[in-house]
């Protein structure tokens, strides 16, 4: 079929854009900024075009394109997009231009822009790659730009934060690589073909023990990135120390790499192991929800607060993913997108507040409502969305996740619901702390959002409302893919214990049954 190679284009624009910006920036930083905006705008255009061309109600991968690449290593260059990855690609394409518009890191911004574009390219690549090694390439590639974004443009303790983030994530992906390789060799032993293509590896028969081990290896990698509860320790520091733009990208896009990876690879490749591990993961997710919510309520620093609240949100996403129910999965996907939009808005607003008032500290910030009503209004809407107020986009995902989880794993759903309540409490409390009350002299002098800023935040706000009132638009495209996923999970034959001739594994969770 000769369709327009949307995905390849979506990959190339930011990558070449990054190089171009880097070169131009040496001479003319201003031109670089314009160029970067142009590139991201073009990216967004093509992403929307992709959305338009995307066939609704089709569950399978679309726009698939496979080229041989590194044949000796069995790595192929195969791309494809389905309802799950579609909106994540859109999210990526949307957030980055807004980041470029809405944040600034002073004069020497060339590197900042180039790294952002590279990051965008890598993220899109990992969302649309159907070859595990290609995914791994992209997954790794996101590390480098993120590291430099943090370490060069972050706040005081940026070096520490960047190191922590980098080392933890890389160690996680070490397990991922080994896991992928083991899986590939299993497949090779059974079929004699060395390949990393998702479609092929899907049909590898694994002894239940081995499957559990592999799925754990994958979980560690993605869990660090997401982050899931015990592996989250890097995230508050990093979100806090990263530049606002960095935090936006990290929380809105990179975190989704983790959740997406779990949804796409763990569930597809190790359905049974995922079922075996479900109790464990669900528990961790529920703990994450509560822990995030409670810790958040103790924060005085707004960025850390958002960091912990998104830990809770990610907990929800994982909950939905491992509920193995259509609503749950759909909710998870929806929530990835919505959470991306909401946190991006949060971090940008906080950045603007800090610009004006020079602090992230809720103890310092008081009574902003008076001097900056518009900002306060926008913040209110975002916050309500994040709480999950019906009619705003936050609601849809949370609701679906809770329904889905409740049908299959009741008690975890109950725990999570309490998490929602706590979340509502701390956000409202924090809100009234910051925006109500008596503004001090310095706060009085703050000026409200400029037109440029209003235009920058407008799209996010619009989406918050639109996706809240008309979620069907998304759900129609997501559900078919979700159903396909679930069909694959349920259809998969019961695990048969295969003893491979050189490696023998035993399950950590009593898997060998």
Partner 1 sequence: MNHLALPTVSYAALAPILFLLLGGVALMVLSALSRRPLAAGTVTGYSVLIGFGALISALAEYGHVNGAGPSSTVASAIAVDGFSAAIAVTVSVVVILASLLSHGYLRRMQIDAPAYHVLALTSASGAIIMAAANDLVVLFLGLEILSIALYVLAALNRRSAKSEEAALKYFILGGFSSAIFLFGIAFTYGATGSTNLQVITRTLGEGVAAKPGLLLAGLGLLLVGFFFKVAAVPFHLWTPDVYEGAPTPVTGFMAAAAKVGGFAALLRVLLTAMPQLSTNWTPVVYSVAVATLIGGAVLMVVQRDAKRMLAYSSINHAGFLLVGIVAATSAGISADLFYLFTYSVTALATFGIVTMLAGPRDDDAGIDRLSGLARRHPAIGAAMAILLLAQAGVPFTTGFIAKFSVIEAVVGHGSIPLAIIAMASAAVAVFAYLRLVATLYRTEDIATVDLGYDDSLTDGPAAFAIGLSVVVTIFFGIFPAALLDFGRTAVAHLLP
Question: Distance (Å, rounded) from C-alpha 410 to C-alpha 407?
Answer: 6
**Bridge partners for 67 per DSSP:** 77
495: its two tokens: 């695990």
Helix (H, G, I), strand (E, B) or coil at 225: helix
Measured from the CB atom, the residue of 10 and 335 that comes closer to partner 1 is 10
- Candidate residues 170, 389, 424, 466; the one interacting with partner 1 per rule CB under 8 A: 170
Kindly give the interhelix angle for 110-128 and 6-27, rounded to the nearest 10 degrees: 170
What's the sign of the alpha-carbon dihedral 156, 120, 270, 218?
negative
* Closest separation in Å from C-beta 218 to partner 1: 14
- Select from 146-154, 200-208, 353-361, 398-406 the region that touches partner 1 (CB under 8 A): 146-154
Single residue of 148, 291, 308, 316 touching partner 1 by CB under 8 A: 148
CB of 170 to partner 1, least distance (A): 4
Identify the residue among 28, 70, 455, 458 touching partner 1 (CB under 8 A). 70
Cα–Cα dist 344/504, whole Å: 45
Q: Which is nearer to partner 1, 55 or 108 (CB)?
A: 108
Q: Of residues 127, 166, 270, 399, which one binds partner 1 by CB under 8 A?
A: 166
- Can you tell me which of 34, 53, 167, 421 binds partner 1, judged by CB under 8 A? 167
> In angstroms, rounded to a whole number, what is the distance separating the alpha carbons of residues 103 and 242?
12
Q: Which residues, other chains included, contact 388 with Cβ-Cβ below 8 Å and sequence gap of 6+?
A: 394, 395, 398, 399, 420, 423, 424
Give me 263's structure tokens. Answer: 């949804």
Query: In sequence order, what are the residues at sequence separation of 6 or more whose Cβ sits closer than 8 angstroms to the Cβ of residue 434?
Result: 302, 362, 365, 366, 368
Of 219 and 345, CB closest to partner 1: 219
Interface residue with partner 1 among 31, 48, 53, 73 (CB under 8 A) is: 73
Contact residue for partner 1 among 8, 152, 283, 424 (CB under 8 A): 152
User: Which residue, 57 or 501, has its beta carbon nearer to partner 1?
Assistant: 501
Query: What is the CA angle 51-453-368, rounded to 5?
Result: 125
Judged by CB under 8 A, the chain residues 89 through 128 that form the site for partner 1 are: 108, 111
Query: In angstroms, what is the minimal distance from the CB of 155 to partner 1?
Result: 15
CA 266/CA 201 separation, integer angstroms: 12
Q: Which of 140, 301, 361, 448 binds partner 1 (CB under 8 A)?
A: 140
Tokens for 204? 């590898």
Candidates 185, 199, 389, 459; binder of partner 1 (CB under 8 A) is 185
Segment contacting partner 1 (CB under 8 A): 49-57, 161-169, 234-242, 397-405?
161-169
| Min dist. Cβ of residue 144 to partner 1 (A) | 6
**Is the Cβ of residue 419 or residue 511 nearer to partner 1 in the bound state?**
511
Three-state DSSP at 249 gives helix
Select from 2-10, 174-182, 356-364, 399-407 the region that touches partner 1 (CB under 8 A): 174-182
Which residues pair with residue 79 across a beta bridge? 65, 129
Are the beta carbons of 81 and 63 closer than 8 angstroms? yes
Which CB atom, from 206 or from 402, has the smaller least distance to partner 1?
A: 206
Question: What number of H helices and E strands is found in the chain?
Answer: 22, 2
Instruction: Say if CB 221 and CB 176 are below 8 A apart.
Output: yes
193 binds partner 1 (CB under 8 A): no
User: Interacting stretch for partner 1, rule CB under 8 A, among 6-14, 38-46, 175-183, 354-362?
Assistant: 175-183
Interaction between residue 151 and partner 1 (CB under 8 A): yes
Q: Applying CB under 8 A, which residues contact partner 1?
A: 26, 69-73, 108, 111, 136-138, 140-141, 144, 147-148, 151-152, 163, 166-167, 170-171, 173-175, 177-178, 181-182, 185, 502-503
């Amino acid at each position: 079929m000769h369709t327009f190679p949307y995905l390849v284009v979506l990959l190339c624009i930011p990558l070449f854009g990054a190089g171009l910006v880097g070169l131009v920036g040496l001479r003319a930083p201003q031109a670089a900024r314009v160029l970067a905006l142009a590139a991201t705008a073009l990216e967004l255009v093509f992403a929307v075009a992709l959305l338009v061309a995307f066939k609704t109600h089709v569950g399978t991968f679309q726009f698939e394109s496979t080229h041989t690449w590194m044949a000796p290593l069995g790595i192929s260059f195969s791309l494809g997009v389905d309802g799950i990855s579609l909106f994540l690609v859109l999210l990526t394409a949307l957030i980055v231009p807004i980041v470029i518009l809405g944040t600034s890191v002073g004069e020497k911004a060339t590197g900042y822009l180039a790294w952002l574009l590279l990051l965008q390219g890598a993220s899109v690549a990992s969302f649309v790659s159907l070859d595990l090694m290609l995914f791994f390439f992209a997954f790794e590639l996101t590390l480098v730009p993120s590291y430099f974004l943090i370490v060069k443009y972050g706040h005081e303790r940026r070096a520490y934060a960047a190191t922590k983030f980098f080392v933890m994530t890389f160690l996680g992906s070490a397990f991922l690589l080994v896991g992928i390789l083991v899986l590939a060799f299993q497949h090779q032993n059974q079929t004699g073909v060395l390949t990393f293509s998702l479609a092929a590896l899907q049909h590898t028969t694994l002894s239940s023990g081995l499957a559990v081990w592999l799925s754990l290896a994958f979980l560690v990698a993605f869990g660090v990135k997401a982050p899931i509860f015990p592996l989250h320790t890097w995230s508050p520091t990093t979100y806090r120390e990263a530049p606002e733009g960095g935090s936006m990208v990290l929380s809105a896009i990179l975190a989704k790499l983790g959740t997406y990876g779990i949804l796409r690879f763990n569930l597809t490749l190790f359905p049974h192991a995922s079922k075996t591990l479900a109790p464990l993961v669900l528990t961790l997710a529920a703990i994450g929800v509560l822990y995030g919510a409670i810790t958040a309520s103790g924060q005085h620093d707004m960025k850390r607060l958002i960091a912990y609240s998104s830990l809770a949100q990610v907990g929800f996403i994982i909950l939905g993913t491992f509920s193995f129910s259509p609503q749950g999965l759909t909710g998870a996907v929806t929530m990835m997108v919505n959470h991306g939009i909401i946190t991006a808005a949060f971090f940008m607003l906080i950045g603007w507040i800090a610009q004006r008032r020079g602090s992230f500290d809720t103890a310092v910030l008081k009574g902003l409502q008076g001097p900056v009503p518009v900002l306060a209004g926008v913040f209110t809407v975002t916050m309500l969305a994040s709480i999950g107020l019906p009619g705003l986009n936050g609601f849809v995902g949370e609701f679906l996740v809770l329904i889905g989880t409740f049908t299959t794993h009741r008690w975890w759903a109950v725990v999570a619901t309490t998490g929602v309540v706590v979340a509502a409490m701390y956000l409202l409390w924090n809100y009234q702390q910051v925006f109500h009350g008596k503004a001090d002299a310095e706060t009085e002098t703050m000026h409200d959002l400029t037109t440029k800023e209003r235009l920058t935040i407008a799209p996010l706000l619009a989406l918050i409302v639109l996706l809240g009132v008309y979620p069907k638009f998304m759900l129609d495209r997501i559900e078919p893919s979700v159903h396909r996923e679930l069909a694959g999970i349920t259809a998969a034959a019961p695990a048969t214990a295969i003893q491979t001739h050189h490696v023998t594994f035993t399950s950590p969770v009593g898997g060998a049954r």
